[in-house]
Amino acid sequence: MTAAVGGVDLIAAAHGTADPRGIRTIHALVRLMAAQRPEMPISLGFVDVDVPALPSLVDRVVADSNQAVVVPLLLSSGYHVAVDVLGEVARRPGQVQAAAALGPDPLLAEVLADRLRESLDPRSVGLEEIDQVVLAAAGSSDRRALLDCSATAAMLSALIDRPVEVGYVSGAGERLAPVLARTTGPAARGTGRVAVATYMLAPGFFADRVRRIAGDLPVSAPLGADPRVAGLALARYDAARVLSAVAV
């Protein structure tokens, strides 16, 4: 492995999954990152479920190149950022830096809006005919993650000029099913047409649950391997490097 410019490699840290669709998507996203920075060694590790596990990958990369920046391929701050990613910084002080999570960010709102448009049949209903959107997130018990999801909902709402509520599949926060019942059921009081924006990076267990809960409502695909998401991950790396340089 050849060290990156300045001797600092990038380690992408993602959720693991037993779903092959999700694994393919994450690997495709990392390939997009590598295509945008062909001179930089980029490795992929996982904070749960899959291998290589993040700690063992960090040990291997740091042994070879001495320094690394861990970039969470996670849509919000929360447990995995605070414990898994920052835990590597604490374990390897002076050698490992942590970048911020991908979200919230206006770029993610743009990708969400595009996925919504793709989920709608323009011959019958376009995004302009949708009156309200529910942002479906995996969920977390960490308040920071919930606040990040709310910020993303606000960004999406401003972008598409429609109300956007958040519903969670797990963890704390209001669950997706009650949110949809409130916006589409008898008590909705003229909410109108509702669509569901899947706020997840890749297909898998949680994205499938969103589709089951949403029933016949339009549901967007996960963000997926999008060049904008890849570019955002690289921007998080750059920001971490700038902060490190300022701190020296």
Q: How would CATH label the architecture of 5-102+225-247?
A: 3-Layer(aba) Sandwich (3.40)
Using the predicted structure, report yes or no on whether residue 7 has a pLDDT greater than 50.
Answer: yes
Give the model's pLDDT for residue 209. 98
- Per the prediction, the chain carries an average pLDDT of 93
Domain 106-214 has CATH 3.40.50: yes
pTM of the full structure: 0.92
> Is-same-fold flag (5-102+225-247; 106-214)?
yes
Q: Convert the chain into a string of H (helix), E (strand) and C (coil).
A: CCCCHHHEEEEEEECCCCCHHHHHHHHHHHHHHHHHCCCCCEEEEECCCCCCEHHHHHHHHHHHHCEEEEEECCCCCCHHHHHHHHHHHHHCCCCEEECCCCCCCHHHHHHHHHHHHHHCCCCCCCHHHCCEEEEEECCCCCHHHHHHHHHHHHHHHHHHCCCEEEEECCCCCCEHHHHHHHHHCHHHCCCCCEEEEEECCCCCHHHHHHHHHHCCCCECCCCCCCHHHHHHHHHHHHHHHHHHHHHC
Query: Domain locations in the chain?
Result: 5-102+225-247, 106-214
pLDDT digits over 128-179, tens only? Answer: 889 999 999 999 989 999 999 999 999 999 999 999 999 999 998 999 999 9
Q: What is the pLDDT of residue 191?
A: 61
User: Confidence class of residue 104 from pLDDT cuts 50, 70 and 90?
Assistant: very high
More confident residue, 248 or 82: 82
